Structure formats: C-alpha cells, structure tokens
Amino acid sequence: MVSELDQLKADLLTLPPESRAELAQSLVASLDETTDDDVEGLWISEILRRDAEVRAGTAKLKSADQVIREARDLLRCLK
C-alpha cells in the first residue's frame, strides 16, 4: 500500500525542474524558521568569544592560502 507521503512525493517529482526547485527552496526555508533560540544564543556567544581572541591576539590564525591548501588536501582524501 502506498502511503500518502509516498504518493505526494511521486506526484511532485512529475513537476518541471524549475517548479521542483522552487518547492524545495520553500520547504528548506520553512525549516529555517524553526530555529532553536538556545542554539542561536550559543552561536552568538561563540562568535563573540572568537572575536575577542582575535582582537586580543591570542587566536591562532591561518592565512587564506593555508586554509585553501588544507581544504583541498582534505577534499582529495574524500575521493
């Protein structure tokens, strides 16, 4: 037996790509509206802490070139 959700998904997959993209964007946006205030507050605290470390000169900073090099190395490992 096909569930209501499965039937809905099958129907929606018949839409043209542009319509599916618009629907996907709307669905993702609807999830973003349900943020957890505690998490938001924790992220703000973390941002402020890191900013204070940078301003105080106690943060260990990396150059953009080094960060890009490390990211590329990590991505090569994932292949």
CA 24 and chain centroid, separation: 15
Q: Which pair of tokens denotes residue 39?
A: 């998490």
Quote the CA–CA distance of 28 and 36 in Å, as a whole number.
Answer: 16
CA-nearest of 51, 54, 53 to 43 is 51
pTM of the model: 0.45
The string of pLDDT tens digits covering residues 20-54 is 999 999 998 888 766 677 888 899 999 999 999 99
- The answer on pLDDT for 6 being more than 80 is yes
Domain locations along the chain: 37-78
